Amino acid sequence: SFGDSMYFRTERQTLWKLPDSGAILFTIRTYCQSLSSVDQRYPEFRQHLGQTLVTASQETRHYKGWEPLWEDLMAWTGQSGG
């Protein structure tokens, strides 16, 4: 299904102050999960994602590369067009 073949990527960014030097360490941890697995874990995910997507500008849709997937994304989230 669409939700099994598409992935949701998130990042966790942190800053750590190193005790000996006082230097700052910046780290990024990425997480990738299929849309379906996120939807199973968080029942309101699909609705929230749809609401977020329909408020995105045309420029954002283009920049993020969502345009070729737009109709499928709208169908999966239960949104109409946008």
Residue entry with tokens 């849309």: 35
pLDDT, residue 5, reads: 96
Measured distance CA(74)–CA(77) in Å, rounded: 5
**DSSP letter at 56?**
S
Report the predicted TM-score, pTM, of the whole model to 2 decimal places.
0.76
pLDDT, residue 15, reads: 98
What are the sequence ranges of the domains in the chain?
Answer: 2-77
Span 40-54, average pLDDT: 95
